[in-house]
A = this chain, B = another copy of it.
């Protein structure tokens, strides 16, 4: 943070002549949305993780499986992959860990033996009955300084970015 004696910045307007005609490109990551968004999301994730990591020994993949299970009545590993954009190996390991701990059960689907239907066990339900309100309370505190309008606009803008991202990704 000690910037008082950085003098090269005086050339920022490109008026220095001896370095060629094209102004040197600079990227201020603090003004660069992908970086800022990633940084913010990282910090939020890390802070929230304390809720489920320390208190319940869950990693983020396990937490996500449980959260999806809390409001999906039929869930498979495949669906978790699709919903969360996580690798199937990662999901597989998360599910296995949760099963080993007795938090979820895994039954082969009668319709298709390749699929395994996931369900919360009573123990899992108990855990979530504690964890979900805590997570919601934490989120409420996080957004406490936002007005209702700001919160709504934020979600709208995020939706816009998601759509635009798909559009960009499609055409390359």
Interface residues of chain A, those whose CB is within 8 Å of chain B, are: 1, 3, 6-9, 22, 24-29, 32-45, 47-48, 64, 67-68, 70-74, 82-85, 125, 128-129, 132-133, 135-136, 138-139, 141-146, 150, 153-155, 157-158, 160-165, 168-169
Contacts and interface: CB of A to CB of B under 8 A. Distances in A.
Contact of A133 (B1, B9, B25, B142): B25
A128 B132 CA distance: 45
B164 A145 contact: yes
A2 to B, nearest CB: 8
Contacts of A133: 25
Where chain A touches its partner, the secondary structure class is helix
Nearest to A160: B145
26 contacts: A1-B82, A7-B73, A24-B70, A24-B129, A25-B136, A27-B71, A27-B135, A29-B67, A32-B135, A32-B136, A35-B67, A36-B155, A37-B37, A37-B158, A39-B84, A40-B162, A41-B42, A44-B165, A47-B165, A142-B161, A142-B164, A142-B165, A142-B168, A145-B160, A150-B153, A154-B157
